[in-house]
Amino acid sequence: MTEGTDEDRGADTDAGDDADADGSPYGDVDAALDEAFPGRTVESVTTVHAGNRKRTVVARFGDGRAPATAVVQTAPAGSGLRTEAALARSVAARTDVPVPEVLGGGVVPGHGRAFVVTEHAAGEDLHARFVALAPARRTAVAREFGRYLAGLHAAFAFEGYGPVGLRGPAGWEAVLDDPDPGSALAVGGRRETTGGIPEASDDWADWFLRYATAGVDALPAGFDDLRPRLRAELADERPRLPASPPSTLYPWDLRPGNALVDDGRVTAVVDWGQPLAADPALSLAKVEHLVCDWYLDDDGSLATAVRAGYRERRPLPSVPSVYRLPRSSARRSTVRAS
């Protein structure tokens, strides 16, 4: 691979703790591009300011060959990038969720990091655009997220609850050679990272309460006065939790901030890291929170749209109130602050 100048690479990059020994913030990216696109000429590399565990850049090639651009992500080996790539490929194969094509992946030689290369999808970061969309368009996008979630629930069922990972000998070659590597994903599979999520369990109430308690413990200091009450509410709700709900894919971060939009329509959903298996009602409550409350104070129209989109694909699950505890507690905290 030949490459452009340092100026081409942009001045917005902070090498930080991820810099190579020579101080270059791009050594692993260069090596990844060499592996994925041997002989290609890279004109520029631009850092994408998204995520907190992965390095994400857009590489632009200057040799007139396809693809003209590609997205490169690197992360510490064993941090889950292979599982994420497998799930992304499987979501693309099994659903109509727009997922950028995975073009390559593996271990960056000599850097102790894994990499994945995907197509560079068209569109703007919906994180920045969602609030600015016209109300009707924003409602339509919320409905799309409901449809996406229902499609994911229909496509991925598991045994047990908790973190999902690759099982058996599913290395990078198996992930990249199989157009639908989802059969290698399982609860309690060969997980590459924990991310603070409780270990898998066949007991839903046990896993959910450990999961929810960890979430309460991780809340910022502004919730300190609510924390004891939240823990007590969780304990009180145990008898009312469903005994053995179906276990479907729980996409950890399905929200506008992980999507691209072009002309008001979602063109790509990215970041399939840290997948879980859980009661479908829990992930519905989480998506409602991320789509409807994370960016603005919803008057109910966005939540209605998410549910309507879900109903287009599957019956809407009944959501126990305890699954919405993060939404209600956040609202109570806002009210107290005002």
Lowest-pLDDT range of 19-28, 160-169, 257-266? 19-28
What is the arithmetic mean of pLDDT over 286-304?
A: 91
Q: For strand 162-166 and strand 185-187, is the pairing parallel, antiparallel, or unpaired?
A: antiparallel
Q: How many CB atoms lie within 10 A of CB 217?
A: 12
Tell me if 149 sits within 8 A of 310, measured CB to CB. Answer: yes
pLDDT beyond 80 at 333: no
Q: Identify the pLDDT of residue 296.
A: 86
Residue predicted with more confidence, 100 or 13: 100
- Say what the pTM is: 0.87
Beta-bridged to residue 2, according to DSSP, are 41
Lowest mean pLDDT among 172-176, 212-216, 245-249, 332-336: 332-336
**Domain 124-337 listed as CATH 3.90.1200:** yes
Q: Above 90 in pLDDT, residue 61?
A: yes
Q: Is 80 exceeded by the pLDDT of residue 320?
A: yes
- pLDDT score recorded for residue 188: 85
Q: Would you list the DSSP string of 62-119?
A: -SSPSPSEEEEEEEETTSSHHHHHHHHHHHHHHS----PPEEEEEEETTTTEEEEEEE
| Range in 48-52, 80-84, 329-333 the model is least confident about | 329-333
Mean pLDDT on 276-303: 93
Residue 332, pLDDT above cutoff 50? no
Average pLDDT (62-81) is: 91
pLDDT at 137 over 90: yes
Q: What is the mean pLDDT of the chain?
A: 86
Q: Where are the domains of the chain?
A: 2-119, 124-337
In the prediction, which pLDDT does 128 show?
Answer: 81
The pLDDT assigned to 41 comes to 92
Quick one: pLDDT band at residue 52, thresholds 50, 70, 90? low
pLDDT tens digits for range 177-202: 999 999 999 998 766 655 678 899 99
Q: Is the peptide bond before 135 cis (omega within 30 degrees of 0)?
A: no
Place of tokens 């990091």: 113
Report the pLDDT value the prediction gives residue 23, as an integer from 0 to 100.
43
pLDDT of residue 328: 52
Long-range contacts of 127-130 (CB under 8 A, 24+ apart): 127/50, 127/256, 127/257, 127/258, 129/256, 129/261, 130/256, 130/261, 130/295
105-125 pLDDT, tens per residue?
A: 999 878 888 999 999 999 998
197 secondary structure, DSSP code: P
Q: Report pLDDT for 325.
A: 77
What pLDDT, on a 0 to 100 scale, did the predictor assign at position 1? Answer: 47
Residue 221 CB contacts under 8 Å (≥ 6 apart), including other chains: none
| pLDDT bucket at 2, cuts 50 / 70 / 90 | very low
pLDDT attached to residue 14: 36
pLDDT at 13 over 60: no
Q: What percent of the chain has pLDDT over 90?
A: 66
CATH of domain 2-119: 3.30.200.20
Contact partners, residue 22, CB within 8 Å, separation at least 6: none
The string of pLDDT tens digits covering residues 226-276 is 999 999 999 999 999 999 999 999 998 999 999 999 987 899 999 999 999
At residue 25, the pLDDT reads 55
pLDDT of residue 49: 58
